[in-house]
Amino acid sequence: MLRLATPGRQRFVQSTALEATFGGGEANVAVSLANYGMEAEFVTRLPRNDIAEWCIAELRKYGVATGNIARGGSRVGIYYLETGAVFRPSKVVYDRAGSSLAEIGPGMIDWRRVFEGAVWFHWTGITPAVSQGAADACLEAVTVASQMGLTVSCDLNFRKNLWKYGKAAGEVMPALVEKCDVIIGNEEDAEKVFGIKPASFDAEHTGGEVDGAHFEEVCRQLSAKFPRARKIALTLRGSLSADHNTWGACLWSSDGFHVSRRYDITHIVDRVGGGDSFAAGLIYGLLTRDDRAALEWAVAASALKHTISGDFNLVSVTEVDALAAGNSSGRVSR
Amino acid sequence: MLRLATPGRQRFVQSTALEATFGGGEANVAVSLANYGMEAEFVTRLPRNDIAEWCIAELRKYGVATGNIARGGSRVGIYYLETGAVFRPSKVVYDRAGSSLAEIGPGMIDWRRVFEGAVWFHWTGITPAVSQGAADACLEAVTVASQMGLTVSCDLNFRKNLWKYGKAAGEVMPALVEKCDVIIGNEEDAEKVFGIKPASFDAEHTGGEVDGAHFEEVCRQLSAKFPRARKIALTLRGSLSADHNTWGACLWSSDGFHVSRRYDITHIVDRVGGGDSFAAGLIYGLLTRDDRAALEWAVAASALKHTISGDFNLVSVTEVDALAAGNSSGRVSR
Amino acid sequence: MLRLATPGRQRFVQSTALEATFGGGEANVAVSLANYGMEAEFVTRLPRNDIAEWCIAELRKYGVATGNIARGGSRVGIYYLETGAVFRPSKVVYDRAGSSLAEIGPGMIDWRRVFEGAVWFHWTGITPAVSQGAADACLEAVTVASQMGLTVSCDLNFRKNLWKYGKAAGEVMPALVEKCDVIIGNEEDAEKVFGIKPASFDAEHTGGEVDGAHFEEVCRQLSAKFPRARKIALTLRGSLSADHNTWGACLWSSDGFHVSRRYDITHIVDRVGGGDSFAAGLIYGLLTRDDRAALEWAVAASALKHTISGDFNLVSVTEVDALAAGNSSGRVSR
Amino acid sequence: MLRLATPGRQRFVQSTALEATFGGGEANVAVSLANYGMEAEFVTRLPRNDIAEWCIAELRKYGVATGNIARGGSRVGIYYLETGAVFRPSKVVYDRAGSSLAEIGPGMIDWRRVFEGAVWFHWTGITPAVSQGAADACLEAVTVASQMGLTVSCDLNFRKNLWKYGKAAGEVMPALVEKCDVIIGNEEDAEKVFGIKPASFDAEHTGGEVDGAHFEEVCRQLSAKFPRARKIALTLRGSLSADHNTWGACLWSSDGFHVSRRYDITHIVDRVGGGDSFAAGLIYGLLTRDDRAALEWAVAASALKHTISGDFNLVSVTEVDALAAGNSSGRVSR
Amino acid sequence: MLRLATPGRQRFVQSTALEATFGGGEANVAVSLANYGMEAEFVTRLPRNDIAEWCIAELRKYGVATGNIARGGSRVGIYYLETGAVFRPSKVVYDRAGSSLAEIGPGMIDWRRVFEGAVWFHWTGITPAVSQGAADACLEAVTVASQMGLTVSCDLNFRKNLWKYGKAAGEVMPALVEKCDVIIGNEEDAEKVFGIKPASFDAEHTGGEVDGAHFEEVCRQLSAKFPRARKIALTLRGSLSADHNTWGACLWSSDGFHVSRRYDITHIVDRVGGGDSFAAGLIYGLLTRDDRAALEWAVAASALKHTISGDFNLVSVTEVDALAAGNSSGRVSR
Amino acid sequence: MLRLATPGRQRFVQSTALEATFGGGEANVAVSLANYGMEAEFVTRLPRNDIAEWCIAELRKYGVATGNIARGGSRVGIYYLETGAVFRPSKVVYDRAGSSLAEIGPGMIDWRRVFEGAVWFHWTGITPAVSQGAADACLEAVTVASQMGLTVSCDLNFRKNLWKYGKAAGEVMPALVEKCDVIIGNEEDAEKVFGIKPASFDAEHTGGEVDGAHFEEVCRQLSAKFPRARKIALTLRGSLSADHNTWGACLWSSDGFHVSRRYDITHIVDRVGGGDSFAAGLIYGLLTRDDRAALEWAVAASALKHTISGDFNLVSVTEVDALAAGNSSGRVSR
């Protein structure tokens, strides 16, 4: 997806140029994993035009394989971003109608070939939200991945301004999520998609802190609903203002329930892609360390994302390691 | 339409920001006329989102009335522009699939109310190229305008990369053009839309000069085909390179055939919107002076357009008058 | 007025370009009101040159009527702005000597025609500070508006670096303010202009909090001095640093004295125009709701202003409503 | 003077930022001479504010002494610049009303101290055009310089949009010019200021070539009118378009009349300051070589100016030497 | 190499930012070939720091393999570029002292592994100019490539400001060039490196045209000196000004001598990398078509390079084909 | 040194341009002192190229004398800067290998001539870290300055990524520091260079506050080791995050030990050069007021530095006076 963001804190109506980068849930995860030195590939559908070539070159720049992208359809999806400040929220205007991905359908991608030699498949709830065809292609991919023995993870990623093709998230997502080994979401997704919310927590009350303890019950209910899932992780964002959030996460598995350290992110540079950077951090973490360490690593990685402009979390393993180890002083490195 | 152009002479793949302005055939004509002190209104269909509000504010900035724009649909159409140099052509990537205008249909705009008090209606061949609905709405507008006694003008404006909804320009345009009092085109449009071309001129041979005399016959044939048309004007562009064009036009009416002065535009700043600036200049000219003077004024106005970045021709009557009077030295005004 | 601001936090001496926007007390109020969907017109005096045309186009962009601007004189007034940080204050360098407004005088604007059909006239203390002629023209306008039954409001807006034509604010302002129905000021204006200050509050002590309760007495004294005023509102800014202010206001009327919610603005984007955005919010609020709600709406509107770059408060009624209703989390809207 | 130029070829109404540099006739000459390794000082009057400090720092950057600048008054003069293209002329909007220099008067600068140890004083016709006080101060300076034995040179520099204080150039300039040893002008100045023009040349016919031979007669008449002048030089600009000029000059002295090589400047970067760069080149040339060589050096220096953005001619002696020696191929130096 | 270029036509002393891209002879060739769909790899030595990582990411973006880059040493080489205009030459300031490549030596790269599966090795005369170690490593590479049966090509690329380690080009280059199958140079290289120049042509006379016919003799002499070379190609640049060059080439082989079409490049965007784009075009051409067609393709590719900013020639096979087929009108593609 | 910084908070890999300014320990101190109205000169070694001329022009802009800079060697040293955010540290990549300063040696600068008429010589620990030659030249300068009776001050300025020529700081620095009258350092330098650290303070614990009281002992030990030093000052930075530091300092002299006010710098603009701005403030303070006031002045000056982008602390005496007097509210000055 092409991301067109107003410079600085400008409103759309003030702008004369838009910063052009690329992003989107799954692409963001792929870039993070490539950054961490893993082989990562992004599979999607793009038209045959220069904007698509530009997108592919950017992915390649960050080390992501692009050889299985299907080509066809008429446009690259866009999202417009106006970055907020203090009480003024950032605004995302989705512009995905008629995009090549929205017009994808089953059979357009040879998932068996794509998954050959792979060990993990990750998808997000944004894809099935775009169109029936995208939901169908996603189900096809999840099914093949599952059959071929890949670990399948998903990020629920509920977006109320998508889901406009006549079905609700709650109708479409269960069939997809039930094939997942790892489920990731934020503090609101489980409620918005499946109606599962903490008993004692008012999810609307976002101005204050978000206490991880309230979410063990949410994880348990998700686990009951989707028994295949071995791990369930939820990010916990406290929105004090557009510039200042708290950030943490919890991870439930059969071994227990962990709540991470909570970061106080006082001068946010860019919070879009925060959830994706957590998902990538968790995948990397689960492949390289134990559950608790993986959770802390994923939270550190995604806390760092808030200091990077653009969707992609351009940090190294060394940088995440340093923050996960407690070095948060921001002292100049020279 | 949102115009997203790479800065300087960058290629898409090199860019990190896109210059964001607004444009499109009919909007460009409206801005020119407002600039010349005429009451001009732009009527289209836009979604209810911040990008549309931004577009409306820009039109308002240049004095164009926007009160009759229908609101609905899901996106603002886009065109991407990469400005060429020397042998490298500029590239336009249309991104209009699913736009609010593409999904317009008859009945969405109350043309009787729009045209109340108006004397002139101008449309371009880009609108019926976008979708069947847009073609239908255009026909509706032309019909009402004609019934209400407005002068109707059109710019044939053939774009081969549009016209993708299953009909050819030659099937759709005749019913629209036959209601027009003034027909405007470039040296290729009549051939591309209606198959009418100069006997002795090879339209593919664009590297050299374009001689106006060859086009009198084209005008006659157009006149025979569309007897309502009182005036037929064709712009004549000689493309020596992406930076250097010649520019002139011819005008046919029952009074005779005129070929304008030819301008040598040696350091083009932006040639997109050149045809629209001619159409606006001609409308203004025909309303304020005789045919020959109107033609020369329109050519001077549109020659100046090539020195202005963006789609809009931001020049004043005084500036066009000066060039039409022969002052082309570009000496500093201080 | 042309506003020339250094980019980012640059000092003047570091700059190679200046951000060029337009602003000024009354223009800022007009833009806000147009944004809120009200008919607003800005009346001033501008020269006949391209800089003035540019200014008019910008006002038109934001929906402000400009048809009664008098044209003459030799220059557009300017203010230079260097945005501060933390302990370093922002700097405003006024450059209004010889401007068309400074050389305005009575009789140059036909106020009777201007006010036809209008219900409200707003002026600020900056205008009479510029020159004797501007003060005279302002008095003329206030007198006509008052005679024609418009509600007249003023913002005291004391600027010590203006008032250089030989008269003190205290000599000129009373004759103007006494014809006002609504008086607006900040926590210092009443003292600087009329010598009225809170008994128990040290206005110089701006580093700490500003308690609204201390200002009821100021309002009472203003009311005693200007008995025509039905409402008196004061904004209350606590300057913790150039990046971090608190912001609130109080409103006195015959019905009682209200102190608003206090906002903690932790990452200011641009605080210039804050007072103007309050005035506009109050005018809108008083025309659409009761006193207390109007005060809260005005404070929310002007708190949002601090998140917008430039003088103009480019927010919608919906956005102000949301903040006034307590939604200050800055969570991404998507 | 602060120079505020629109970026690229933008029109004022399109701009959101203005490029801020400093310039003006005498300052431009001083910078050139400092660049060539000569001791040069710029004497003017500036206010006590941050914009003036910025101006002084920029002059210092280019090696110009600034120790005798008088401080006072209220503003730094400005000129706005919109760079043209092809047939569209560049536009200069002067904004000097009320500037510190416009309000200068005799006695504000101690010219005896300024000229101590100096050998040359250069002034331009822009200064006496600004105000009576500036004309008086200029006359004072010229008189003192003359008494102290400095070589005095002037650039006639006629600007029709200045000269607004009630006197014509022809009334004021003679008393100043008659004390000059070297008179410099362009192909129009002698006519515009003193009514002296070539018999056989139509100065309005600027679109074509300017033949130096026609100007010997102009020089002779100037010499007859101002017998003190030992050298008279005129620059000869042929304006083919805003992007393409020809450029040469002629020099008359008692030794004879020389016409320089003519340069074809096909892709002008910035022509403002061209005349000043010629004056500086001529001063440097006359101090270091014979008349003919000085003329060619001055023309080469000023031809190079057209390739540099901003008012200042930032080229070295080596670079001018190379062009004067005939190396105009523009081959990469590496 | 990091390329730091002043924006627009600024001089270094005017700049506040430098455009940062990457380039250098061999890298430029690799990017072109990858663009044309060939597998291309760039082998060099870079330090272990963030600037090197940035360089690698940019190469990856354009599809170049980077897996065999040796890591070590202390810095990435730089060249500073100031783009000229008209008579003012562009300036390149090399800053390669102490770079990782300057400190490379034999044995640091395992050329046998690098060349496995490869068919072509290309190097340029810039590498042996940097240091003795670089020359030694280059000889090592050429020797291994030759032994392994790769086609070896070189671009003589003489740069007088390099070659500072105590040896002249003429001492070092013969041993390297004698192992080459294809020799490429410009109209000056053969003379500057080997003292071979056209009898009847004055290479210093660069302001005028460069006639290919004069260079057949140069090719013959080169062929006599380096009998292994099967093809010898020379680019022919006519430098009319920094903005306007003519461009062509000639190719000698045992089959005959061909002189290409000559292009008139009237508005150069960036001529740095022109020779490299020719070399890449020739390699691609020789691998895909006959000699004459290969020559024309290479000239068309490199003529297009002059319209692209940066070192890399970001054009597609389709675009080169179109120009080689004679379509040089620069008409908008839409 | 040329400073090449990524714009905004970009990472290197995201950048397409680098902000180019100049800086470095001693240059920063010289600019501050010139700003405060003192005569200051910067003495270094630079090559003969355009980048060096640019550097000199920038120093001159800020009033620093540059007449004794030695010219020779091959390159200007560089440091690359990536500005961090929150937990992400800023990164400095030094690129000084092969710079003209690194290749300086004794005898290249005539220190006797340089110091004629001077009263103070300041150097920093960065110079002897660069190379043996630079250390030798530094010792030469310190020795001559000491002999000629100048006050000699040093800033220990330990940088672990320099010191790569085979000697440790602890081996080189003592001979240099023992000739100093004033020693300046930060809370870590004494430990890193001389192994002297507060008994009760863990210098690694930088996330929290730094209490000045712990450093009296450090000063005493430094004093014992370097008995010539009359004053020893240490800056005390508490790194809460990359955006938020606390800042203070302590000063020890025979008269006693003072700990300054501590500033809370909540929205840092640029912290590079903070220590240098303290050193300059202290030199200015010690020359104009008593110890305690000098310390507070130096801390206020350097707190302000954190609000200025670039290495140079572009603030005036008036501005430092205001902050030192307690005015830290950041209220707009207008």
CA atoms of B18 and B7, how far apart (whole Å) = 6
Residue C328: pLDDT band by 50, 70, 90 thresholds?
confident
Tell me the helix, strand and coil percentages in chain C, rounded to 5. Answer: 35, 20, 45
Q: Computed over its alpha carbons, how large is the radius of gyration of chain D?
A: 19
Question: What percent of chain C lies above the pLDDT cut of 70?
Answer: 97
Q: Name the residue in chain A with its Cα closest to that of E60.
A: A61
CA atoms of F252 and F236, how far apart (whole Å) = 14
CA atoms of A250 and A261, how far apart (whole Å) = 9
Q: Which of A295-309, E205-219, F136-150, F263-277 has the lowest mean pLDDT?
A: E205-219
Q: Rounded to a whole number, what is the distance in Å from the CA of C8 to chain A's nearest CA?
A: 9
Q: Test F87 with A328 for CB contact under 8 angstroms.
A: yes
Residue B208: pLDDT band by 50, 70, 90 thresholds?
low
Residue D204 CB partners (closer than 8 Å, separation 6+): none
Residue B206: pLDDT band by 50, 70, 90 thresholds?
very low
Torsion of CA A304, A307, A311, A314, to 10 degrees: -60
CA atoms of F198 and F187, how far apart (whole Å) = 9
- F30-39 confidence digits (pLDDT tens): 999 999 999 9
- B47-58 confidence digits (pLDDT tens): 999 999 999 999
CA atoms of C114 and C100, how far apart (whole Å) = 19
Reading the block at residue D210, the tokens are 């300017």
Q: Rounded to a whole number, what is the distance in Å from the CA of A111 to chain E's nearest CA?
A: 24
Report which of residues E155 and D201 the model is more confident about: E155
Neighbouring-strand partners of residue C289: none
pLDDT over 60 at C87, yes or no: yes
Question: What pLDDT, on the 0 to 100 scale, is given for residue C209?
Answer: 64
Question: Burial, F225: exposed, middle or buried (Cβ in 10 Å; 0-12, 13-18, 19+)?
Answer: middle
Q: CB–CB of F294/F286 below 8 Å?
A: yes
Q: Test D19 with C20 for CB contact under 8 angstroms.
A: no
CA atoms of E275 and E267, how far apart (whole Å) = 18
- D241-273 confidence digits (pLDDT tens): 999 999 999 999 988 999 999 999 999 999 999
Nearest by CB to F329, from C14, C159, C206: name it. Answer: C206
D228 vs D178, D279, D289, CA distance in Å? Answer: 7, 18, 21
Mean pLDDT of chain E: 94
Q: CB–CB of E93/E138 below 8 Å?
A: no
- E273-301 confidence digits (pLDDT tens): 999 999 999 999 999 999 999 999 999 99
ipTM above 0.90, yes or no: yes
Tell me the helix, strand and coil percentages in chain F, rounded to 5. Answer: 35, 20, 45
pLDDT over 50 at F203, yes or no: no
CA atoms of C259 and C236, how far apart (whole Å) = 10
Mean pLDDT of chain B: 94
Q: How many CA atoms does the CB half-sphere of F284 hold within 13 Å?
A: 29
Q: What are phi and psi of C320, to 5 degrees?
A: -70, -45
| Contacting residues of A for B98, CB less than 8 Å apart | 75, 97-98
Question: What pLDDT, on the 0 to 100 scale, is given for residue B103?
Answer: 95
| Contacting residues of C for B63, CB less than 8 Å apart | 57, 60
Q: Test E243 with D263 for CB contact under 8 angstroms.
A: no
Subunit partners of chain D (3 or more CB pairs within 8 A): B, C, E, F
CA atoms of C23 and C44, how far apart (whole Å) = 12
In this structure, how many other beta carbons lie within 10 angstroms of the beta carbon of residue E333? 16
Q: Test C51 with D93 for CB contact under 8 angstroms.
A: yes
Question: What pLDDT, on the 0 to 100 scale, is given for residue B137?
Answer: 97
Neighbouring-strand partners of residue C249: C235
DSSP string, C190-219: HHHHH----TT--TT-TTS---GGGGHHHH
Q: CB–CB of A288/A332 below 8 Å?
A: no
Q: Test C330 with A243 for CB contact under 8 angstroms.
A: yes
Report which of residues A91 and F329 the model is more confident about: A91
Residue B209: pLDDT band by 50, 70, 90 thresholds?
low
Quote the distance between the C-alpha of residue A55 and its chain's center.
18
Question: What pLDDT, on the 0 to 100 scale, is given for residue C334?
Answer: 78
Q: Test B4 with A18 for CB contact under 8 angstroms.
A: yes
> What SS3 state is found at A16?
coil
> What SS3 state is found at B165?
coil
CA atoms of F219 and C216, how far apart (whole Å) = 54
Question: What pLDDT, on the 0 to 100 scale, is given for residue D211?
Answer: 80
Q: Test F17 with E19 for CB contact under 8 angstroms.
A: yes
Residue F207: pLDDT band by 50, 70, 90 thresholds?
very low
Question: What pLDDT, on the 0 to 100 scale, is given for residue C201?
Answer: 58
pLDDT over 90 at D82, yes or no: yes
Question: What percent of chain A lies above the pLDDT cut of 70?
Answer: 97
Chosen for mutation from A31, A263, A264, A333 (greatest number of chain F CBs closer than 10 Å) is: A333
Alpha helices (runs of H) in chain E, residue ranges in sequence order? 25-35, 50-61, 111-115, 126-130, 132-147, 169-177, 189-194, 216-225, 274-288, 291-305, 317-324
- A30-57 confidence digits (pLDDT tens): 999 999 999 999 999 999 999 999 999 9
Tell me the helix, strand and coil percentages in chain D, rounded to 5. Answer: 35, 20, 45
A8 φψ region: left (φ > 0), alpha (ψ -120 to 50), beta (else):
left
- A265-291 confidence digits (pLDDT tens): 999 999 999 999 999 999 999 999 999
Reading the block at residue B110, the tokens are 């109350």
- B229-275 confidence digits (pLDDT tens): 999 999 999 999 999 999 999 999 988 999 999 999 999 999 999 99
In this structure, how many other beta carbons lie within 10 angstroms of the beta carbon of residue E207? 15
pLDDT over 60 at D292, yes or no: yes
CA atoms of D246 and D250, how far apart (whole Å) = 14
Q: CB–CB of C20/C4 below 8 Å?
A: yes
Q: Test A89 with C267 for CB contact under 8 angstroms.
A: no
Reading the block at residue F76, the tokens are 């200007």
Q: Test E334 with B161 for CB contact under 8 angstroms.
A: yes
Question: What pLDDT, on the 0 to 100 scale, is given for residue A170?
Answer: 94
> What SS3 state is found at B315?
coil
**pTM of this prediction?**
0.96
Question: What pLDDT, on the 0 to 100 scale, is given for residue A214?
Answer: 85
Residue B183 CB partners (closer than 8 Å, separation 6+): B153, B154, B156, B177, B222, B226, B229, B231, B232, B233
| Contacting residues of E for B271, CB less than 8 Å apart | 332
Chosen for mutation from A61, A62, A64 (greatest number of chain E CBs closer than 10 Å) is: A61
Subunit partners of chain E (3 or more CB pairs within 8 A): A, B, D, F
Q: Name the residue in chain E with its Cα closest to that of A61.
A: E61
Alpha helices (runs of H) in chain C, residue ranges in sequence order? 25-35, 50-61, 111-115, 126-130, 132-147, 169-177, 189-194, 216-225, 274-288, 291-305, 317-324
CA atoms of F185 and F189, how far apart (whole Å) = 6
Q: CB–CB of B31/B64 below 8 Å?
A: yes
Task: Map tokens 């950032």 to a residue.
Answer: A90
Q: What are phi and psi of B131, to 5 degrees?
A: -165, 165
pLDDT over 70 at B135, yes or no: yes
Q: Which helix (H) or strand (E) holds C238?
A: strand C231-239
pLDDT over 50 at C207, yes or no: no
As a whole number, mean pLDDT of residues C22-47 equals: 97
Question: What pLDDT, on the 0 to 100 scale, is given for residue F208?
Answer: 53
- C126-145 confidence digits (pLDDT tens): 999 999 999 999 999 999 99
Give the amino acid at A254: S
Torsion of CA F203, F204, F209, F211, to 10 degrees: -10
pLDDT over 60 at A59, yes or no: yes
Subunit partners of chain A (3 or more CB pairs within 8 A): B, C, E, F
| Contacting residues of B for A12, CB less than 8 Å apart | 50-51, 53-54
Tallying the residues shown for chain B, one arrives at: 334
Question: What pLDDT, on the 0 to 100 scale, is given for residue D69?
Answer: 97
Residue E200: pLDDT band by 50, 70, 90 thresholds?
low
